[in-house]
Each structure stands twice: as structure tokens, then as C-alpha cells.
Amino acid sequence: MTGMAEFNTLILENARIVLADDAIECGYVVAEKGMIAEIGTGNAPERGINLEGDLLLPGLIELHTDHLEAHVTPRPKVHWDTVAAVISYDAQIATSGITTVLDSLRVWREEGAAGVDGQAGALATAIARARADGLLRIDHFLHLRCEVPTPKVVDDASELVGRPDVRLMSLMDHTPGQRQFRDPVKLREYYRGKSGGMSDDELDVLFARRIDNHANYAAKNYRDLMALATGWKIPLASHDDTTAEHVDQAIRDRVVVAEFPTTIAAATALHNSGVKVLMGAPNLIRGGSHSGNIASAELARAGMLDILSSDYVPSSLLIAALRLSEMVASYDLPAAIRTVSKTPAEIVGLTDRGEIAIGKRADLIRVHRVDNVAAVRSVWSRGDRVA
């Protein structure tokens, strides 16, 4: 388990190794004390684990996944033990090839929105407990997803923001008619699924309250959340940027990553201004957005895709990165793998990982490919096998 590695010598040989900017068709990696000590072509100096020509990739880095919530609430109105849910989720994340994850916790409490409210405080506590007890396989950090127009969001964020594992804060606005939810039909479909079946009359009440909250709280909460992030030196993400005004705001506020921009114009402007554009791996695999917004593949073909996120399907991260290298000529295999390793690691300050390079952590995954299918066979975190 993470934090309990024995740090023995690890030798992986007969592998197709994907580096940050190149690939070794047949080579080996040696790790000492949890760090990569040697990379070479041909045979290893000593016999090690024979990967039989499989891919050897850096452990994947996930900045935005909502999947923990599916383990905590596996059915509407069913609430699982939070620590048990974290352990189950951690195992699924690890076997998907992810060795560092930013658990996306919704800082969002709202009257009349059962099944939509987040449980950020309880989940952060459960993650910390599982980590302290040595129950986790991989590294977990926190991504605070702050719903700006909700009345208590600043108070709730203030309680969490000082934790040492907080690595990213995103500022969201799911008010009807805003950003992702410009389409009222898609909005109703989304919340019917989230809430376990609210009627149209109930949704009308909920949406009217949200519009009122936006008018009463959004502007001040945004300023206060910005001040929190700045004071604690937490990187910022924007969310669902759509208009030129959204883009200007993101650039002005020095966000490091734009999550799921909804139009190619917004994504292009953000990317060209140095903001990393993050899009959903499920979107790329499915061929489009489930909410009717821009397709990840379209942004990739335009050269505007910097980071992939598994969002709600952990295994999609690896599948999408491998598929990206086949779909878009400008993303060779090293470039595609960077979208799920080196680039996301760097923007949240995790410069000790994210690539296979001497001196970096030995976070590694063995991947077996047959035609268009890929399977994670082994996962190492700091040189210790965890899956």
C-alpha cells in the first residue's frame, strides 16, 4: 500500500517504454528506493521482470474524477460507509493505471437538491483516515469543486482549503442557462438522473432557487473564493467556459487549467493564452459530449487538447490516451501519454512524477494491447507493486 513500499530494486525488461518525448521499442527500467535509476535499450544488466514486449508507461495522473461519489452513493438514497467506499474506489482507480488522483469533492450544499449535494468534508476525512491507516494503494490529493452560487460555499471551502493535500480548486456555476446548462432539455435530463426522479414541478422550484442564488451570491462568492485560493497558493481551474467573457475572466484570474470548455472558440482562446485545456476521456471514446457540447476529438484535431480526464469512468483515461495517438496524427504515442501524465502532474506542482525519467518516482504501469483493446497488467507506485 502507498506509504508502505519496501523500496527494493525493481528491474523491468523487454518492454516498449514510452518516455515523455520518445519511445524505446525494446528496453529496460531499473528503480532503486522507489525512484527511477536507469533506463536503457536492449537487455537489462541483470535479469528482472520480463514484460514480454508490453507497453511500460508512467503511472497516470488524474485531475478530475467524480467517481468516488458512485461508491459512496451506489444507488439513490443508499449511503455506503465512507472509508469502505474510499478503499473500493482506490482499488478501482489503481487497476485503471492511475497512480496519482485528485479526488474531486463537490463543495456544494443546497436545500432541495437531494442526491446532488456534495459531501466534501466527510469524504476528505475518510480519505485522510484511509491514508493514515495504510489502506490506500496510490497517492490521493484533493480537488475542491466549488459551486460558486451556493450560499455556504465560502464557509465550506474555508474549512477544507488549509489541508496539505488540496492541490486544485475549480470554480463552477451550474445555474440554469449558464455555461454547460444553456440547454434546458439537457439540464432536466441531467438532474432527473442525479436526483433519482424529480418531477418537472420540483425541478421548476429547484431551478428558480438556483437562479435567485446566482443573483444573490455568485459575484461576492467568486471574489471570496478567489481570495482563498490566492491566499493558500492553490492552483485554480475554470469550468465549462463558453463565452468570450468566461475566457477573459479565466485569463485575468490566472487559472492554470480550463475544464471542459463547451465551444471550440473558448478552448482555442484559452489554449492560445497558455491555459491548459482539459477534456473528458469518455467524450473522446464515445465520439461526443453527453451534454451536447464540443467533442474532445474535435479539439484534439485542432491541437487544443492538453489534458484528458476520466471524469466518471476511471478506465477511460488509458483507453482514450491510446486511442488519441491513433486518431490524430499530431499526437504520437508520447504526446498522447503526456495528456494523462506529465502535463497534469506539472500544472499542480507534482514535478516528481508523470514521466519515465531518471530521478522521477517509479510510478509505472504495464499495459498489454491486442488490436483496439488494452489491459493494465501491473501497477507500481514508488517501485512497489500495488495492482
Q: What is the structure's pLDDT at 7?
A: 58
Least confident of 39-53, 187-201, 304-318: 187-201
Residue 201 has a pLDDT of 80
- Tell me: do 155 and 253 sit in the same domain: yes
Higher pLDDT, 236 or 8: 236
Q: Are residues 185 and 161 in the same domain?
A: yes
What mean pLDDT is predicted for residues 280-284?
A: 95
Cell representation of residue 282: 469518455
C-alpha of 29 from chain center? 27
Task: Give yes or no: residues 178 and 317 share one domain.
Answer: yes
Residues 311-332 have a mean pLDDT of 95
Do 291 and 316 lie in one domain? The reply is yes
In this prediction, residues 374-378 reach a mean pLDDT of 97
Q: Give the DSSP H or E segment for 92.
A: helix 82-95
Residue with cell 493505471: 97
pLDDT at 104: 95
Q: What is the mean pLDDT of residues 211-237?
A: 94
Lowest mean pLDDT among 85-89, 158-162, 191-195, 210-214: 191-195
Asked if residues 341 and 364 have their Cβ atoms less than 8 Å apart, the reply is no
Q: How far lies 188's CA from each of 27, 169, 184, 195, 291, in Å?
A: 52, 27, 6, 10, 11
> Contact at 8 Å (CB) between 196 and 264?
no
Q: What percent of the chain has pLDDT over 70?
A: 89
Over residues 82-91, the mean pLDDT reads 97
Q: Are residues 49 and 144 in the same domain?
A: no
Amino acid 184: pLDDT: 63
Task: Round the average pLDDT of the chain to a whole number and report it.
Answer: 91
* pLDDT of the residue at 186: 66
Using pLDDT thresholds of 50, 70 and 90, give the confidence band for residue 4: very low
- Determine the structural domain holding residue 49 and report its residue range: 1-58+354-387
Residues 82 and 25 both lie in one domain? no
For cell 463547451, name the residue: 262
Q: What is the CATH number of the domain that holds 246?
A: 3.20.20.140
Q: Which three cell numbers stand for residue 340?
A: 494523462
- Residue-wise pLDDT for 134-185, tens only, equals 999 999 999 999 999 999 999 999 999 999 999 999 999 977 766 666 666 6
Mean of the pLDDT values across residues 189-205?
A: 68
Report residue 206's pLDDT band, with 50, 70 and 90 as the boundaries.
Answer: confident
Quick one: which of 94, 19, 5, 10 has its CA closest to 56?
A: 19
- The verdict on 274 and 181 lying in the same domain is yes
Residues 245 and 320 in one domain: yes
Residue 365 and residue 281 in one domain? no
Q: What does the block give as the cell for 382?
A: 514508488
Tell me, yes or no, whether 232 and 334 share the same domain: yes
**pLDDT of amino acid 23:** 98
Q: Span 6-21, mean pLDDT? A: 91
Q: What is the pLDDT of residues 300-315, one digit of tens each?
A: 999 999 999 999 999 9
Backbone angles phi, psi at 17, to 5 degrees: -100, 125
For the segment 20-36, the average pLDDT, to the nearest whole number, is 98
Q: For 50-59, what is each residue's pLDDT tens digit?
A: 999 999 999 9
Does residue 15 have a pLDDT over 60? Answer: yes
Task: Name the domain count of the chain.
Answer: 2
What pLDDT score does 213 carry?
85
Question: Cβ–Cβ contacts within 10 Å for residue 128, how many?
Answer: 17
* Cell numbers at 360, concatenated: 522521477
| Weakest mean pLDDT among 66-75, 88-97, 178-187, 272-281 | 178-187
Task: Report the 3 state secondary structure along 23-79.
Answer: EEEEEEEEEECCEEEEEEECCCCCCCEECCCCEEEECEEEEEECCHHHHHCCECCEC
Whether residue 387 is found in the same domain as residue 301: no
| CA–CA separation, 105 and 162 (whole Å) | 15
CATH number of the domain enclosing 4: 2.30.40.10
* Burial bucket for residue 86 (CB in 10 Å: 0-12, 13-18, 19+): buried
Same domain as 6, residue 48: yes
Q: What is the mean pLDDT of residues 220-246?
A: 95
Q: List phi, psi (to 5°) of 186.
A: -60, -35
Ranked by mean pLDDT, the top range of 170-174, 190-194, 211-215, 249-253 is 249-253
pLDDT at 292: 64
**Pair 376, 1: CB distance under 8 Å:** no
